Amino acid sequence: MKKFISALLALLLAAALTPPAWAEELAVEAQSCLLMEKTTGQVLYAVNEHEKLEPASVTKIMTILLVMEAIDGGALRYDDVVTASAYACSMGGSQIWLKENEQMTVEDMLKAVCVVSANDCSVALAEHLAGSSEAFVEKMNRRAQELGMADTTFVNPTGLPAQGHVTSAYDIALMSRELIANHPDIRRFTTIWMDSLRDGESALTNTNKLVRYYPGATGLKTGSTDSAQYCLSATAERDGMELIAVVLKSPTSTQRFEGAKTLLNYGFAAYGLAEAAPQEPLRPIPVVLGEKAAVTPEICGETGILAPKEKLAAMTVRTELQPQLEAPVEKGQPVGTLTVLSGEETLAELPLVAGEDVPRLTYWKILLRCLQTAFLAG
């Protein structure tokens, strides 16, 4: 039964998200690309999304994610001091030219990674968090598996060229979504256009030009090497909907930014995100022989409905609840369905479940309730 319901929901979502015909004509100069909506995780457009390619410094999204998870989990603090090792200082490529034994806070190093893609700071943070770069890479790959990134193998925390260091546009979208959805404080860093470190001595200018020039841009990470060419995971938010546009192996830097803009423009023009949850609380359902007289239903699952804008314009919501329940009632027990419609088309069906446990009255409690009722009646 569960498999049938899951399959039905997948079919409904696929129907609701059928892209307009002109979506097939998007001009993105890249080997692989993908557009995903953050809240639902739905893919709105994709080309070669599972092709394994070098991500260059887009790799650092996973490095940043692990750092943010440590901060939000209490294992790391922004004001913790990190000491740069000789190895971290030897990275080359994009960097802030750390010197061996130089000390800097986690916040400043994270800023350097997000804004100028500093390889030296990426390794310094990795070593500080896991003890060594190799141990950190193990954490990266383990987290990738947990997120379902089946196309990904990390070899280092920077994205510098290395044999077997590959991922896909789809996997990059997955880790990008995890970062922006669950660690919103990262925006403090990914939206910086210009800043500085070392009391103003080290100027920082974001490698992601969309942060300055694209309305609603929120990040996220650029990357480029001779072999990976030009890569980007770009995020932007408008009207409460945040999109993730991934572009891999564009021939030029300009083409990667233009490709991301094309994807984002398409998503914002064609799709919208609407709230399906009713503004008024759902009516309580009477419970027969329960220790409580009624139970309040709750919506199970994500209530944001992603669909083409023309379908959202005609959106209505229909609620169907069981007339009554018999105790015992378990929290999470199905009690009805909330159906989201656009005209006659079903956009989504969301299960309604019991919001709490309602134990069944024991014999003695039933007797006591009867005596109380008789006493009050007399």
Residues 278-300 pLDDT 10s? 888 899 999 999 999 999 999 99
Q: Is the pLDDT of residue 376 over 90?
A: no
CB 358 within 8 A of CB 329: yes
In a domain, 370, yes or no: no
List 32, 38, 57, 342, catalytic entry: 57
101: alpha, beta or left? (left if phi > 0; alpha if psi -120 to 50): left
In a domain, 6, yes or no: no
Share of the chain above pLDDT 90, in %: 87
Using CA atoms, how far apart are residues 151 and 346, in angstroms rounded to an integer?
33
Give pLDDT, residue 279. Answer: 86
How many domains is the chain built from?
2
List 32, 38, 60, 233, catalytic entry: 60
In a domain, 238, yes or no: yes
In a domain, 369, yes or no: no
In a domain, 280, yes or no: no
pLDDT in tens, 321-339: 999 999 999 999 999 999 9
Same domain, 119 and 259: yes
In a domain, 15, yes or no: no
- Return mean pLDDT, the chain: 92
Give pLDDT, residue 363. Answer: 75
Give pLDDT, residue 16. Answer: 47
pLDDT in tens, 173-194: 999 999 999 999 999 999 999 9
Active site residue 94: no
Confidence of residue 223 (pLDDT cuts 50, 70, 90): very high
The DSSP result for 272-293, as a single string, is EEEE-S-SSPPPPEEEETBSSS
Q: Domain holding 151: CATH number?
A: 3.40.710.10
List 32, 85, 94, 117, catalytic entry: 117
Same domain, 93 and 140: yes
Give the helix, strand, coil percentages of the chain, each rounded to 5: 35, 30, 35
Q: What is the mean pLDDT of residues 12-20?
A: 48
Active site residue 60: yes
Give pLDDT, residue 136. Answer: 98
What is the extent of the structural domain holding 201? 22-271
CB 312 within 8 A of CB 331: no
φ and ψ at 144, to 5 degrees? -60, -45
